[in-house]
A and B are shown apart, each in its own frame.
Chain A
Amino acid sequence: MNRMGEYRKPRIGVYICQCGSNIAATVDTEAVAEFASRLDGVVLTRVNKYTCSDPGQATIRKDIQEQKLDRVVIAACTPRMHEPTFRRTLESAGLNPYYLEMTNIREQVSWVHPAGEAATHKAMDLVAAAVERVHLHRALYPRKSPIEPAALVVGAGIAGIQAALDIADAGYQVYLVEREPTIGGKMAQLDKTFPTLDCAT
């Protein structure tokens, strides 16, 4: 839906990563790309050697701007690795980063299945799932919340005192809470300390 409330067909770009031979040796990436190109809403499909590389990301940026892509699907490694990378790519091309959908055809396909039709089919199904899902993605915006410029330090032994002094020296208010009537902790009880044998307090 656009702002007027009418449905506008999304323009989806699908990028199939070969990850060198990590994916390409097992999954027929060209076949997956061909399959993806026929999916509803997909206007562009590419197979990349390394999608996460600088040229790989530059291509995505260029496509977003020139082909007016408004959704991006990347079939590559686990999103736990590069989702933040590609979200930044979208953002730098002026697209809301939450219009990205990644699907995992390396850790969860090419690395766990033998080369062949089954692996390629699995990659196809995952790409189809990602394309269906990305249709419904919406622009999301992070919210901001102010930070209280003060710190609480609980415990006033060596660790607490050191942390409190460092934070206080940086110019922030520190509340140093100690449950005993006096600070110093165990350190205050120590005689000389090794290896220098100097005074502890």
Chain B
Amino acid sequence: MTTTPEPFEPRIVGFLCNWCSYAGADAAGTSRLKYAPNLRIVRVMCSGRVSPELVVRTFREGADGVMVLG
């Protein structure tokens, strides 16, 4: 059985604060900046909302990387 090795495409989940980094991600869009499509953003009302359990849980669901931006 052979498989062609594919380039590694990480699955990244980002927890972004509504008032700063999420707004920043919106601003990136408004300015038409480009970045890799490997990121899925979860909006929170403050990065302080993100408990360690939530980060661990995100890895367990299959994330290769977790970002908490605030």
CB-based contact B34/A112 at 8 Å: yes
Give B1-48 interface residues, CB cut-off 8 Å to A: 18, 22-23, 25-26, 28-30, 32-35, 37, 40-43
Contact of A122 among B23, B25, B29, B40 (CB under 8 A): B40
Instruction: Select A107's contact among B29, B35, B40, beta carbons within 8 Å.
Output: B29
Residue of B nearest to A126 (CB): B40
A112 to chain B, nearest CB (A): 5
Main SS at interface, chain A: helix
Cα A114 to Cα B36 with chains together (Å): 9
Total cross-chain contacts (CB, 8 A): 45
Total B residues in contact with A, Cβ cutoff 8 Å: 17
Given contacts A78-B26, A80-B18, A80-B23, contact A108 B41 (CB under 8 A): yes
**What secondary structure prevails in chain B residues at the interface with A?**
mixed
**How many residues in A have their beta carbons less than 8 Å from beta carbons of B?**
19
Contacts known (A79-B43, A122-B40, A126-B40); A108 close to B23, Cβ less than 8 A:
no
A129 at the interface (CB under 8 A from B): yes
Q: Which one of A80, A104, A106, A118 lies within 8 Å of B37 (CB-CB)?
A: A118
Q: 10 A-B contacts, Cβ less than 8 Å apart?
A: A80-B22, A107-B26, A107-B28, A108-B26, A108-B29, A111-B30, A112-B35, A119-B37, A126-B40, A129-B42
